[in-house]
Amino acid sequence: MATVNFQEILDMLKDEAVKLAMATFKDFKNEAKADALNLLDEIKDNLKTWTLQVAEGKLTRADFEFLVLAQKELVEMNALKQVGFGLIKADEFKNSLLTLVSNTILGLL
């Protein structure tokens, strides 16, 4: 199994998360970008552990996806909340980000 460079994966995820934020929110791009990067920062330690475990065959792809998507309840979209953006749209964005994270990493492994 090839060595996993998690920092490269994290950098790629940050780029993709910013693109998603910019495409999703026209009037609140800066807030969405801040929340997207904050989400990745909050979950990066767990994400690194889980990514390495999948790469080593210690964690199934389904379990990885479940663990990543379960982070939804632990991460807040504070910048979007501060500007009064609706919770439903913020949650949809959070779901999209976590799905992006899961799909990107699993696609690379």
Give the pLDDT confidence score for residue 86 in this predicted structure: 65
In whole angstroms, give the CA distance from residue 100 to residue 80: 19
Give the tens place of pLDDT for each residue, 70-105: 988 777 767 677 766 666 777 888 889 999 999 999
In whole angstroms, give the CA distance from residue 109 to residue 32: 28
- How many C-beta atoms lie closer than 10 Å to residue 94's C-beta? 20
Contact 70, 43 (CB under 8 A): no
Whether the predicted pLDDT of 18 surpasses 60: yes
The residue that leads in pLDDT, 90 or 25, is 25
The residue that leads in pLDDT, 95 or 48, is 48
Percent of the chain with pLDDT over 70: 87
